[in-house]
Amino acid sequence: SESTDAFSITIIESMKEDYGLFVWPCSIVLAEYVWQQRSRFSGVSVVELGAGTSLPGLVAAKVGSDVTLTDDSDRLEVLGLTWGVWDAPIFSLHPRIILGADVLYDTSAFDDLFATVTFLLQNSPRSVFITTYHNRSGHHLIEFLMVKWGLKCIKLLDGFSFMPSYKASGLSGNIQLAEIVLNNDQAEVTDTINLQREGD
């Protein structure tokens, strides 16, 4: 068994070609959260969306998760997964935990992202989506999308609240960490309404 007391991961970054080849602060915050919650991640299936340099997914793998890294299918050969596109690979994914670091930056992709997250959560009972994001325009847009897609936030943390100061000192921004699940209360209400309509 591999020791999980400490380890290092080296990632070679590049800003020349694409933003996905850089380790962004949200990725560092999410990787730290995975590390601090490592017993929760040990032995479970994890999918990282928009993996880019994959730091959170790599940390999850180091602490014992069975990890599938995904990114835009034009740029990744491990498992290409374009949000909102229902290709065959997505149907085989049954993650317990879905990770997404800084995937909430392009508002034009939000609906596709939430559609993909909702599908994965529905496909994997009792699963959770853990994401870190820069709170650029407030949490209200994300709250709206959660309601729209039948999701709810069960934990919302300041991204620096759980990081040791020596790790957080080089990071900047207003980073939030959210844990999001299916809103089963809303699903039950919707099911009841649908049953009532069928009975009319």
pLDDT tens track for 43-58: 999 999 988 888 999 9
What is the value of pTM for the model shown? 0.82
The Cα–Cα gap between 39 and 184 comes to 26
**β-strands 151-158, 97-101 pairing:** unpaired
Comparing CA positions, the residue from 120, 117, 119, 183 lying closest to residue 150 is 183
The Cα–Cα gap between 67 and 44 comes to 8
Query: Which residue has better confidence, 173 or 100?
Result: 100
Tell me the percentage of the chain whose pLDDT exceeds 70. Answer: 79
pLDDT tens track for 16-36: 665 656 688 899 999 999 999
What does the domain layout of the chain look like in residue ranges?
24-199
Q: Would you state the pLDDT for residue 3?
A: 45
Report which residue type is found at 39. Answer: S
Buried b (16+ CB within 10 A) or exposed e, 24-53: bbbbbbbbbbbbeebebbeeebbbbbbbbb
CATH T-level fold of 24-199: Rossmann fold (3.40.50)
Q: Which helix (H) or strand (E) holds 122?
A: helix 110-123
pLDDT tens track for 73-96: 665 456 667 788 877 777 888 999
**β-strands 175-182, 128-134 pairing:** antiparallel
